[in-house]
Amino acid sequence: MHGLLLVHGALEVVPVGAPGELFKKGAAMGDLHVLRSSATGGCSVVINADGIIEDVSTDDDIAARYGHWSFDHKLDASGCCVLPGLVDAHSHPVWGGDRVHEFILKLAGASYLEVQASGGGIQYTVDRTRDTPDQELLTLLLQRLRRMLASGTTLLEAKSGYALNADGEVRLLRLLHQAAAFTPITISPTFLGAHAIPPLMASDEATRQVIEEQLPAVMAAKELGELSVDAVDVFCEVGAYSIAQTRAIADAAQRSGLKLNLHVDELTPLDGAKMAGEIHAEAVSHCEEVSPEGIAALAAGGTVAVLLPTTQLLLGLKAPPAREMIDKGVIVALGSDFNPNAYCLAMPTVLHLACALLRLSPAEALTAATLNAAHALRRSTSHGALRPGMVGDLMVLRAPRWEHLIYQLGEHASLIEQVVCAGRVVYKKPSDLP
Ligand SMILES: N=CN[C@@H](CCC(=O)O)C(=O)O
Ligand SMILES: [Zn+2]
């Protein structure tokens, strides 16, 4: 419990979502309901002692309505814009070692699957992660979360997936659970035991182990309160899990009451999105190779498409058909895909790439990285917009218009003045940054 917070004097407040709006599709993605300052004053956000947004309006309105309130904290946002905290709908933040040598190989022409087939890729990181002590993994994880927070991320989907066996996957989810106590970022954990086929194992046996050994171990640890888990992910790809195997794991996940958030149609057009839409998966990621039937199924199933432009850029993949997806009514979101292959912790960079590579407008990109990303995690009743009743997660940006967050590529460290989580200031720009 902490005091009342008044954020006031802002040039713009960008609510993104209107009351009752859980996601935005089509043309609505571009409508952010921006409040602008006028000759008579700026704009305000009031966050109550429980960390929940009480009001969003002009300074004058707020003064008239709350004149009798005494605020415990005031945050002067003069010369700044106020935006919702960013939501990263896809990340892999718990692993040891790095893969900088593969970055160099890929730049010289090796493909992702070639690197993987020669013993690199996910299995390389599984080996490094297994050899890294818990305390060191936790320290690495917390460093990454701090950098994400400084870049404006306040809600994060975070996957396991660098162990590929029951004990190891439970270990990674436990570390995420422990980290949650030391970060203001809200974490939505995803079990990704089906990230790769372990060496010398047939894919059917790997599928059986995920369903019969790993998932029950994760659910048992959850019962004991040792970890939390919201969703299950499967890497549905040639050389990883087939459509039928992904479907079998997805069925088991749904029977356990977990959400689905599946890697589909990244490198090979397998029609993973079509399958995911048909089983009403909450979300899929990648979709570079999605088919027209896949797009239709995502729209019909209410399945959020989480697009990952960092991976597309790094691996030289074709762009997912973002414009077509938006036009056909798919709920589009964004994620950093932070992992040892695509090392990007900063959602503002992801938003810039979404505009430059996927041709989203800045307003569509912000919707995709706030309200729609929160909906991918089925948390948009509480996160992803600045409106009464939502958790008071926001960022204060020193800029005349909020779009500078996206326009100034790589400059977010200078632009983001403060980050607030649940009504508490949790990040302030270092004073030596211009
Ligand atoms: N494709 C699978 N997972 C990650 C890559 C993980 C890795 O290469 O370590 C992705 O989303 O890009
Ligand atoms: Zn991923």
Residues with CB under 6 A from ligand 1: 92, 121-122, 125, 235, 263, 311, 337, 339-342
Task: Kindly indicate the confidence band of residue 117, based on its pLDDT and cuts at 50, 70 and 90.
Answer: confident
From-to residues of CATH 2.30.40.10 in the chain: 5-85+384-428
Ligand 2 center from residue 223 Cα (angstroms): 26
% of residues, the chain, pLDDT over 90? 96
Question: In whole angstroms, what is the distance from residue 351 CA to residue 242 CA?
Answer: 31
Distance 341 CA to ligand 1 centre (A): 7
Instruction: Give the pLDDT confidence score for residue 112 in this predicted structure.
Output: 87
Q: Whose CA is nearest to atom 11 of ligand 1?
A: 337
Report the CATH number of the 5-85+384-428 domain. 2.30.40.10
- Contact predicate 53/387, CB 8 Å: yes
Give the β-pairing of 231-234 and 186-194: parallel
Q: Are strands 5-10 and 43-47 parallel, antiparallel or unpaired?
A: antiparallel
Segment 64-89 mean pLDDT: 94
Would you state the pLDDT for residue 119? 80
Where do the CATH 3.20.20.140 domains begin and end in the chain? 86-376
Smallest CA-to-CA distance from 123 within 194, 206, 196 is with 196
Give the span between the Cα atoms of 373 and 39, in whole angstroms: 35
Closest ligand to Cα 95: 1
Measured by CA distance, the residue closest to atom 2 of ligand 1 is: 235
Query: What one-letter code names the amino acid at 230?
Result: D
CB 154 within 8 A of CB 186: yes
pLDDT band at 1 (very low <50, low <70, confident <90, very high): very low
Q: How far is the CA of 327 from the centre of ligand 1 (A)?
A: 28
CB 196 within 8 A of CB 121: yes
For residue 283, the cross-strand partners are 261, 304
**Nearest listed ligand to the Cα of residue 339:** 1
Number of Cβ atoms within 10 Å of the Cβ of 14: 28
- Interval 317-371: pLDDT, tens: 999 999 999 999 999 999 999 999 999 999 999 999 999 999 999 999 999 999 9
Query: pLDDT tens for residues 200-253?
Result: 999 999 999 999 999 999 999 999 999 999 999 999 999 999 999 999 999 999
Which of 19-28, 34-43, 103-112 is predicted with the least confidence, judged by mean pLDDT?
A: 103-112
Contact of 354 with 320, CB cutoff 8 Å: no
Specify the pTM.
Answer: 0.98
Q: What is the mean pLDDT of residues 105-130?
A: 91
Ligand 1 atom nearest residue 341's Cα? 8
| Residue-level pLDDT at 386 | 98
**What's the one-letter identity of residue 297?**
A
Homologous superfamily (CATH) of 86-376 is: Metal-dependent hydrolases (3.20.20.140)
Structure tokens at 169: 């996957």
Distance CA 218, CA 233 (A): 13
Q: Report which ligand 1 atom has the smallest distance to the Cα of 285.
A: 11
420-431 pLDDT per residue, tens: 999 999 999 999
Cα of 263 from ligand 2 centre, angstroms:
7
The strand pair at 231-234 and 259-264 is best described as: parallel
Specify the range with the lowest mean pLDDT, choosing from 70-79, 228-237, 389-398. 70-79
pLDDT at 70: 83
Among candidates 201, 133, 135, 138, which has minimal Cα distance to 165? 201
Q: What's residue 116's pLDDT?
A: 85
pLDDT at 405: 98
What confidence score (pLDDT) does residue 194 get? 98
